[in-house]
Amino acid sequence: MADAAVTFLLENVKKLVVEQASLIKGAEGELKQLENDLALMNAFLIEHSDNRDNGPIFMELVKQIREAIYDAEDALDTCLTLKAKSKSKPGGLPNLKTLDLAKKVKELRLQLKPTFDMAMSNLKGPAQSLADGSASALGTSHHNILKKTALVLREDNVVGFADQEAILLEYLSEKTELLDVISIVGMPGLGKTTLAYKIYRHPEIEFEFPVLIWVYVSQEFNVREVLLTILKKFTRQDMSGNNNIELTRLVRSHLEKERFLLFMDDVWTNEDWREIEAALPKNNKLGKVLITSRYERVAKQTNHNREPHKLRFMSFEESWELLQLEAFGKGNSCPKELEGTGQHIAKQCGGVPLAVVVIGGTLSDKQLDRREWEKVSKSVSTLVQEDQRTTYIISLSYNKLPHNLKDCFLYLGMFPEDTEISAWKLTCLWIAEGFIQQKQGRSLEEVAEDNLGDLVARNLVMAETTKANGAVKTCRVHDMIREFCQNEASPANKNLFQEVKKTRQGVLDPAITEIVKRRRLCIHYNVMMEFLRNKPKGPRVRSFVCFSKDTIGLPTEHTESITNAFDLLRVVDATPLKFTKFPAKLTKLIHLRYIALSGNEFKALPEGISNLWNLQTVKIDTTSRELEVRVDISKMVQLRHLKTKAAISLKEMRLKGRGGDNLQTLSRLSAESCTAKLFSRILNLRNLGIRGNLNTLVDASYLGKLEHLEKLKLVHDPFSMMGEKKELHRFPPLHNLPSNLRMLTLSNTQLAWNQMTILGGLHSLEGLKLKEMAFKGGRWETQSGGFPNLETLHIARTNLEIWTAASDEPFPKLKNLILKNCEGLQEIPFAVGKGKNLQLLEIERVSPTLVQSAQKIASAKIEKEKQEMQGGEVRARRGGFKLKTSPGDASSSSTSN
């Protein structure tokens, strides 16, 4: 909704008033009044944005507000840019009078007033979107038509998921001491309802459960209708005269006597579940409940002892079988001449049954025309998105999102299809774009991570990899979801972003002349050079993000092309472009919040970056071993992340500025730049990387004062030393290390294994990575009493040969053990492998005897899980033990059943 744009401008105005007194002198009163106006409009939009009765007039009003806010933001920022230039170069520009800014802000308020007044006068209540209600009624009618179209239960042409069906049937046959609730979760269109209905009609289920009840819950949840539906199974008596309390009691009294299976399809919220749960007899161990939900957190709430069953995507073979059924009917197969094209189409459906059904229906109308099939193969995602069923099913989830999540979700459409997205990059971009609002007691990063976790839990985003603490590290978006995001975010709708690409005719889309109307530009393909040669100009463009798969060498003459084209940039991510030199004009773009650049010759970050008072994130990719950062961090109040793989040679901080308090990531700092003075100014650091001669840190006490530091990476770099002892002679003592450290990575430190006892004293440590000869020596005896909270141990490249354990449980909470390139290691201590919490053992490029050791551990773990399952301990279902091996180490991976 528009409140994201309003909130962003509101926060900018607040910061101007507080932090840029000299720049806004004389305009304080007008800015404060603008702040009040924006706060009122923001509150109004938040109040009405989630109302389902909002008709077309409300949506048009939202669009007008958004465009008005964009215009106001651009005008204000243009004025501030000119004033900043005038202040820094008095002789280069005509000096702006003190009252110019005040006058401009007053003009902006007058321009916004008609739109605000119309909103406040015409939309006082959620049901008053139109005087006669016709627009709202039209929307509801269209909604109902789509609902009936989308929710037809498929009883024929049901393909695949036999393994999923078998797992759920096994769950339903398990004996439990209390009422058992089983849940199926998955993204929209994946077939949760179809699978549940297949089980509902299964002969074994009909035999096993005398009472079968199917209830469709839906977004329009009505507990009264649910209770009455259940009661119809037991009595023909009209119960509509009873109140909800009486109905709840009657349902419970009927269910507590029966061997029943209750299907609750499409449960949306925890509140809905709590109302249903009140009518269920918890002590009836013969009863079962099976629910489907898109929201994983709802499914987890239904049963704390059993993980939700996450429905997988269809395999290619299943997709191809279903596509043929839809296109040709039962008993018919695809003609040989269409097989290649048809199989290509099936792959593009991404394993989502709804997409296969939609495309299959399209192909059924094309008969056997090969050219028509090839046309379909080139536009699968577009055809899926244009189908009303797809739009409706995804829009249900989108419309249910809280207002603060909607733009975060749509922004995912910026990324190319099938891209593995870095969670760190995504959350930093969300923050820079203004989509994340501060919450008391939480950092912006924590709020952003919560938002990503929420989207994953709603099955709108797929977590690809996770961190040691379970947080998302990388994620993906299904093509069907991505197409929805792109359509909803398009200039015709929200004007959130625009993808720049080439049409099939080889023409840039959008045309260069259309760029002036866009807010954010993303380029996915190698059209960059043609785009820049056309000298684009985008006075409204705030974000420029490049996603080219290949590295693009940027000629020197185009160094300033991006900065010359877009004066008001907030975000510039041009990592695929290799600059020959740093674009000097970048230091003049005072509204920049996020910079990500790469260049083989980048050896310095210019001092002018210090003047970018809005800057939050700087990420520099360079092949240089060292990056001289001439920036004075004490001047950069908003700076949160400074990241590069080179060793950062940092300019000494001055003590006058207020910068440094918000800095959370500093990676990788040269060891020579580590000083007590520096760390006294960046006490809120959470992520620190240090590269260089680590001997200089051994006796330093300042690291121990970083109470908020959670992640530390130490790289001992012998090439950075001149005539000094290359090896790290010892590790810092425990009292000189951060007490709240959760993740530690060591590389090339070559420490003796007996120094592991120091690390074992880090009681908050959850993840430990030992890479590139972090420790050396042939023998390691793990001592007892250390590493009380370690969950992940990753050892890569070591000359370790013998590993023993001095106690029965050396790592009491270890979940993941990863061993790579440990060719000399003979075996894993059985005491480590038998740990009750161990879930994953991953080995790669290890000795044959280590493989055998791992297989013995896996067999013992799997056997124990089977015994627990037979004993009725459902907790084993929370995720069976897994042994992952590389092809060179073993023929296949072992997994618990």
For 609-678, give the secondary structure using H, E and C. Answer: HHHCCCCCEEEEECCCCEEEECCCHHHCCCCCEEEEEEEEEECCCCCCCCCCCCCCEEEEEEHHHCCHHH
Nearest C-alpha neighbor of 793 from the set 777, 808, 812, 778 = 812
Handedness of CA 714, 719, 722, 727 (dihedral sign): positive
| Lowest-confidence pick of 1-5, 667-671, 799-803 | 1-5
Cα–Cα nearest to 380, from 401, 356, 416 = 356
Residue 721 has pLDDT above 70, yes or no: no
Do residues 743 and 470 lie in contact, with contact meaning Cβ atoms separated by under 8 Å?
A: no
Q: What's the alpha-carbon Rg for the chain, to the nearest Å?
A: 30
Domains and their CATH numbers in the chain: 3-145 (no CATH), 161-310 (3.40.50.300), 316-386 (1.10.8), 389-488 (1.10.10.10), 742-897 (3.80.10)
* Residue entry with tokens 């101007």: 16
688 within 8 A of 709, measured Cβ to Cβ = yes
> Once rounded to an integer, what is the mean pLDDT over residues 572-601?
93
Tell me the pLDDT tens digit for each residue of 263-306. 999 999 999 999 999 999 999 999 999 999 999 999 999 998 88
Question: Residue range 571-589: average pLDDT?
Answer: 93
What is the percentage of the chain residues whose pLDDT exceeds 90? 55
Task: Please state, in angstroms and rounded to a whole number, the distance separating the CA atoms of residues 756 and 749.
Answer: 12
CA atoms of 418 and 428, how far apart (whole Å): 20
Percent of the chain with pLDDT over 70: 86
pLDDT, residue 736, reads 92
Please indicate whether residue 893 or residue 260 has the higher confidence score (pLDDT).
260
Q: Are strands 604-605 and 594-598 parallel, antiparallel or unpaired?
A: unpaired
pLDDT, residue 724, reads 56
Distance in angstroms (rounded) separating the CA atoms of residues 109 and 799: 69
Strand-strand pairing, 421-422 and 472-476: antiparallel
Amino acid at 149: T
Which residues, 6 or more positions from 220, have their beta carbon under 8 angstroms from its beta carbon?
none
* H/E run at residue 508: strand 508-509
Please give the helix or strand (H or E) that residue 215 lies within, else none: strand 211-216
Q: What is the mean pLDDT of residues 609-631?
A: 92
Task: Identify whether the C-beta of residue 693 lies closer than 8 Å to the C-beta of residue 724.
Answer: yes
Sheet holding 211-216, edge to edge: 211-216, 260-265, 288-293, 180-185, 309-310
Report the alpha-carbon angle 278-283-285, nearest 5. 120
892: pLDDT strictly greater than 50:
no
Phi, psi of 716 (to 5 degrees): -85, 115
Helix, strand or coil for residue 92?
Answer: coil
Please state, in angstroms and rounded to a whole number, the distance separating the CA atoms of residues 716 and 195.
54
- DSSP per residue, 754-821: GGHHHHHT-TT--EEEEESSSEESSEEEEPTT--TT--EEEEES----EEEESSS-SSTT--EEEEEE
pLDDT digits (tens, 9 = 90+) for 507-532: 888 888 888 888 999 998 778 888 99
Residue 197's pLDDT band (cuts 50, 70, 90)? very high
State both tokens at 620: 């520099």
Q: Which residue has better confidence, 199 or 33?
A: 199
Cα gap 381→410, rounded to integer Å: 17
Return the structure tokens found at 69.
Answer: 């806010």
Strand partners, 647: 626
Torsion sign over Cα 30, 36, 38, 41:
negative
* Lowest-confidence segment of 14-23, 35-44, 343-352 by average pLDDT: 14-23
Query: What would the pLDDT profile of 367-412 be if each residue is shown by its tens digit?
Result: 678 889 999 998 898 899 888 888 889 998 998 898 889 999 999 9
Whether 747 shows a pLDDT value over 70: the answer reads: yes
Question: Would you call the peptide bond into 510 cis, given omega within 30 degrees of 0 as the criterion?
Answer: yes
Residues 6 or more apart in contact with residue 124 via CB below 8 angstroms: none
At residue 502, the 3 state secondary structure works out as strand
522 vs 496: CA distance, rounded Å: 11
Largest CA distance in the chain: 94
Confirm if 574 and 597 have CB atoms less than 8 A apart.
yes
Local confidence band at 566 (pLDDT 50, 70, 90 cut-offs):
very high
Residue 486 structure tokens: 């792109």
DSSP 442: B
CB atoms inside a 10 Å sphere around CB 369:
12
Q: Is the pLDDT confidence value at 2 over 60?
A: no
Per mean pLDDT, which of 120-129, 646-655, 779-788 is the most reliable? 779-788
* Location of structure tokens 């430990």: 768
DSSP 844: E
Task: List the single range of 200-209, 253-262, 803-812 with lowest mean pLDDT.
Answer: 803-812
Residue type, 142: H
Q: What sections of 125-202 are H helices per DSSP?
A: 134-150, 162-173, 192-200
Judged against a pLDDT cut of 70, whether residue 145 lies above it is answered with no
Looking at the DSSP bridge assignments, the partners of residue 687 are 665, 711
* pLDDT tens, position by position, 60-101: 777 777 887 888 788 778 877 777 666 555 444 344 444 466
How much is the average pLDDT of 329-347? Answer: 91
Identify which has the larger pLDDT, 418 or 469.
418
Over the stretch 834-860, which tens digit does the pLDDT of each residue have?
888 898 999 999 999 999 999 999 988
- Using N-to-C axis directions, what is the helix angle for 316-328 and 336-348, rounded to 10°? 120
pTM: 0.87
| CA–CA distance, 160 with 151 (Å, rounded to integer) | 20
Tell me how far apart the alpha carbons of residues 675 and 248 are, in angstroms, rounded to a whole number: 67
Distance, in Å, from the CA atom of 60 to the CA atom of 204, rounded to the nearest integer, reads: 53
Q: Which of 403, 395, 402 is nearest to 6 (CA)?
A: 403
- Residue 551 is encoded by which pair of tokens? 């590295």
Query: Please, what sign has the CA dihedral across residues 382, 384, 386, 392?
Result: negative
Question: Nearest-CA neighbor of 268 among 209, 223, 313?
Answer: 223
CA distance 558 to 561: 5
pLDDT at 101: 66
Instruction: Check if the beta carbon of residue 570 is closer than 8 Å to that of residue 592.
Output: yes
Question: At residue 564, does pLDDT exceed 60?
Answer: yes
pLDDT, averaged across the chain: 85
- Say if residues 368 and 375 touch (Cβ distance below 8 Å): no
